[in-house]
Amino acid sequence: MTATPRPADSVRVKLHRDVRVYGDTSILMGGEPLRALRLKPQASRLISNRELRVNDALSRSLAERLVSAGLASTVTETLPEASLADVTVIIPVKDRSDELDRALSAITGAVATIIVDDGSDEPQKVAAVAVKHGAHLVALPVNQGPAAARNAGLREVTTPFVAFADSDVAVTPDALALLLRHFADDRIAVAAPRIVGRAGTNWIARYEAACSSLDLGPEPALVKPGSRIAWLPSACFAARVAALADGFDERLRCGEDVDLMWRLAEKWRIRYDPSVHAMHEHRDELWPWLARKKFYGTSAAPLASRHGDVVAPAVLTPWIGAVSGLLLVQRKWSVTLLAVLLAITGYRASCLLEAPPQTRAEIGARLAVRLLTGSATQASALLVRHWWPIALTSALFSRRARRALLLAVLTDGLTEYRHTKPQLDPVRFLVARRLDDLAYGSGVWAGAIRQKAPRALLPRMRGFTMGGLRPQAFGGVHSPH
């Protein structure tokens, strides 16, 4: 890849917003799974205003540790510049010629583009748009699905990098150029932007603008199974052609993007960069919107058959299971027992740290709160999303189950409302949130029953960790000298 040299000290790494700093940067806590990183004085002094400037062996070693631990990400603008001549854009499409025209207009002819017509009913319209924008057209005689269409385009690529974009996604040359900067790291296979949408005019479009399934949030991350960002949508991402091998699994009509990312994550790094945006035209009609949500849910079962319990809707440790159980019991004695359990968890986990008593107490309190809120959030999500048929049936016969379900509905909805700040009133937001979960959960159940794959509905059991904190993550960063 053609790159413009930059000064060695211009690359910076920035701590994620959820990382807590203790003892004047001697202890950093955050990431997923949660870990605490204890830095030696010569390393902690390198971090200023939550940023690290990479300019020598020690700073490179520390930057690598922070990034691999999920505590920090490289500031994109400080990476070497890249050339758009090194990338080809592939857009699969079936009939949506108007959306395709808008998508190509965003690229403005600055990037080599391949249009793959996946068996359109009116192929002449797609061909006319391709000619208008000077794009290379690959026409498939019959519809083969998005995975096969992308692979057909991939076989035509001669550049070292490729970018995939759906026909209803607009990505600019400037955005692509920023994504390409990540490939200065030879370990990166994929870099993806944040996929956002316009607020829209009706309540569905406004809900989607805040809570789209394609929008993975404002925080950067390394993408891998079991982490905070576990997958990337194929709606828009850039990739290293040499890493893609055979590309997408053409047997999958849905979830082919998740499958690809999880296969790549075994050998490569995958970067989610929300500082770069691509614009998606969200659905705003009720029944097509619900159908798409259900369709997404059907991918869980085939993914479970390929990747096992990585697809699980929840992760249970002994601590999370105990806290969740006490929350659902709804007895007076369970409140007391829950408080004792949280106190023990926070105290014992904080004792793993070499830190002053005040710092350990602060960390212990944070761990207890995290365990409580994480358990409540996970239990609520299960009740209203993946397990809603069971939860709803139980609520018909049990007052305690009704209380638990109502609390889960309100907790999940209001928490997400506060987090996303949608341009929508709380009532309609809660309605849209529940319809979203009902449709997706229905898809999960339909796929699991059809493929006889209950694993897609079962939680994953994880070994003992003290309050979710992994003791093996502790340690200082040493100079290689």
**Each residue's pLDDT expressed in tens, for the chain with a length of 481 residues:** 444 434 445 799 999 999 999 877 788 988 877 778 888 888 999 999 999 999 999 999 999 999 998 999 999 999 999 999 999 999 999 999 999 999 999 998 889 999 999 999 999 999 999 999 999 999 999 999 999 999 999 999 999 999 999 999 999 999 999 999 999 999 999 999 999 987 778 999 999 999 999 999 999 999 999 888 999 999 999 999 999 988 999 999 999 999 999 999 999 999 999 999 999 999 899 999 999 999 999 999 999 999 998 899 988 777 777 878 887 877 788 888 888 888 887 777 777 677 777 787 888 888 888 878 888 888 888 999 999 999 999 999 999 899 999 989 998 999 999 999 999 999 999 999 999 999 999 999 999 999 988 989 999 877 655 555 543 332 333 332 2
Q: Which residues pair with 165 in a beta bridge?
A: 236
**CA-based nearest residue to 277, from 194, 218, 215, 211:** 194
Amino acid 148: pLDDT: 97
Amino acid 163: pLDDT: 98
Q: What is the pTM of this model?
A: 0.90
**CA-based nearest residue to 247, from 166, 138, 176, 147:** 147
Phi and psi for 40 in degrees, rounded to 5?
A: -75, 160
Consecutive H or E run containing 418 = helix 399-420
Q: CB neighbours (10 Å) of residue 418? A: 9
Q: How far apart are CA 462 and CA 316, in angstroms?
A: 6
258 three-class SS: helix
- In the numeric block, the tokens 């705003």 are attached to 284
Amino acid 340: pLDDT: 86
End-to-end C-alpha distance for the chain, whole angstroms = 32
Q: Where are the domains of the chain?
A: 3-78, 83-284, 315-461
Amino acid 14: pLDDT: 97
Helical pair 97-107 and 123-133, crossing angle rounded to 10 deg: 10
Q: How far apart are CA 216 and CA 17, in angstroms?
A: 15
**CA-based nearest residue to 280, from 220, 210, 209, 219:** 209
Cis amide prior to 33 (ω within 30 degrees): yes
Amino acid 463: pLDDT: 61
Amino acid 346: pLDDT: 78
Amino acid 330: pLDDT: 76
- In the numeric block, the tokens 């982490």 are attached to 227
Q: What is the fold, at CATH topology level, of the domain defined by 83-284?
A: Spore Coat Polysaccharide Biosynthesis Protein SpsA; Chain A (3.90.550)
At 353, list the tokens: 């740290």
Q: How far apart are CA 158 and CA 176, in angstroms?
A: 17
How far from 154 is each of 28, 87, 104, 149, 247, CA to CA, in Å?
42, 12, 18, 9, 8
Amino acid 300: pLDDT: 95
CA 316 remoteness from chain centre: 20
Residue type, 119: G
91 three-class SS: strand
